[in-house]
Amino acid sequence: MPLTPDQIAEIEALRATPRPTLRAVSEGAEAHLYKAHEVLDHGFIRVIDYMGNDAAIVQAARVSYGAGTKKVNDDSGLIRYLMRHWHSTPFEMCELKLHVKLPIFVARQWIRHRTANVNEYSARYSIMDREFYIPRPEHLAAQSTVNNQGRGAVLEGAEAARVLEILKSDASRSFDHYEEMLSQDGQQGLARELARMNLPANTYTQWYWKVDLHNLFHFLRLRADAHAQYEIRVYAEAIAKVVADWVPVAFGAFEDYRMGGVALSGKAVAVLKRRLAGETVGQEDSGMSKGEWREFTEVWG
């Protein structure tokens, strides 16, 4: 269960006491405030706070004030222009602060996005909970033979059962030893900052993660992509649903130009021009490597 009854009661109490404000408000973001969205077996994301909305992006781009100086369709066109031409600073005027509960190995991948403010639960001061991420059988896969960072065929039958048993037993045994080192029959025990060394990477941790919209879009472009690792992708997909409600115009432009768009190298543009002129072009005379050509043909045939 991602949230305890006490945490649920606290969230409900916070949501039941709205306060008036003069700041820019997004009704879509307001609907998500404090609400926990479950991810994986014990994880979640929840919005703690946000700043700005679609109008704030337009306001910053025009350096205007108040409700804006143009019509809504003009604002939408401006946001799409900013996204299309890779203007970043107007999107940086919006920020989102999330409370995230996630496995340690996902956190170590996530923290590679260094353009956010992060404060993580400290195992130096507190004792970790006995909660581990155990994949569902359909997510147990062999190493890909074509992608060193990806997965191949799903494990089945006895092999899948064997791997699941290893994951469960290793996690439980490591946590047993962690608890034993912390307290040994009334003895002082090992310091928490040392005992944590033995914790498995599938132990759940928590953090507050605050990021501006420009860098959040970059995170989503990489981590909500179909090629991203499943365990971080499901977090990115949950966040994307929140962002779509928070800044719907900006998110629509992001979906169109980033998630749904394709970046072309100079060589790829040259190949497309030659094809449009009626020429048959193969990898050998394209100037591309085999990997580049494979990615090119996946999109363009």
Q: What pLDDT is stored for residue 70 in this prediction?
A: 57
Domain boundary among 200, 230, 246: 200
Residues 120, 211 within the same domain: yes
Half-sphere exposure for 253 (CA within 13 Å, toward CB): 22
Pinpoint the alpha helices (H) of the chain. Answer: 5-15, 27-30, 54-62, 72-84, 104-110, 157-182, 192-195, 213-223, 230-246, 248-254, 266-276, 290-300
Cβ(247)–Cβ(254) below 8 Å: no
Q: What pLDDT is stored for residue 233 in this prediction?
A: 97
Cβ(220)–Cβ(243) below 8 Å: yes
Q: How far is 184 from 190, CA to CA, in rounded Å?
A: 9
Residues 30, 96 within the same domain: yes
How many domains are there within the chain? 3
Query: pTM for this structure?
Result: 0.88
Residues 174, 254 within the same domain: no
User: Which position has the token pair 């945490």?
Assistant: 7
Q: What pLDDT is stored for residue 235 in this prediction?
A: 98
Residues 144, 25 within the same domain: no
- For position 24, which CATH number holds? 3.30.1360.170
Q: What pLDDT is stored for residue 24 in this prediction?
A: 85
Instruction: Check residue 32 and report its DSSP letter.
Output: T
Residues 103, 29 within the same domain: yes
The CA angle 207-129-163, to the nearest 5 degrees, is 100
Map residue 285 onto helix, strand or coil: helix
Number of helices (H), then strands (E), belonging to the chain: the values are 12, 7
The catalytic residue positions are 223
Q: What are the mean pLDDT values of the chain's consecutive 10-residue runs (301 residues total)?
A: 78 82 91 93 96 94 65 82 94 97 96 95 90 91 69 82 93 93 78 92 96 97 93 98 98 95 91 93 91 90 82
Map residue 133 onto helix, strand or coil: coil
Q: How far is 173 from 176, CA to CA, in rounded Å?
A: 5
Residues 196, 117 within the same domain: no
Nearest to 269 by CA among 247, 287, 242, 244: 287
Structure tokens at 97: 């602060």
Domain boundary among 200, 221, 237: 200
Q: How far is 160 from 283, CA to CA, in rounded Å?
A: 39
In terms of residue numbers, what domain contains 284?
266-300
Q: What is the CA 102 to chain-centroid distance, rounded?
A: 11
Residues 126, 165 within the same domain: no
Q: What pLDDT is stored for residue 146 in this prediction?
A: 66
Residues 68, 217 within the same domain: yes
Domain boundary among 178, 200, 222: 200
Q: How far is 214 from 217, CA to CA, in rounded Å?
A: 5
Q: What pLDDT is stored for residue 232 in this prediction?
A: 97
Residues 190, 215 within the same domain: no
Residues 70, 28 within the same domain: yes
Q: How far is 79 from 99, CA to CA, in rounded Å?
A: 28
Residues 196, 211 within the same domain: no
Residues 67, 193 within the same domain: no
Q: What pLDDT is stored for residue 37 in this prediction?
A: 95
Q: What pLDDT is stored for residue 187 in this prediction?
A: 72
Which residues, listed in sequence order, are joined to residue 120 by a DSSP beta bridge? 207
Nearest to 228 by CA among 101, 96, 110: 110
Half-sphere exposure for 89 (CA within 13 Å, toward CB): 5
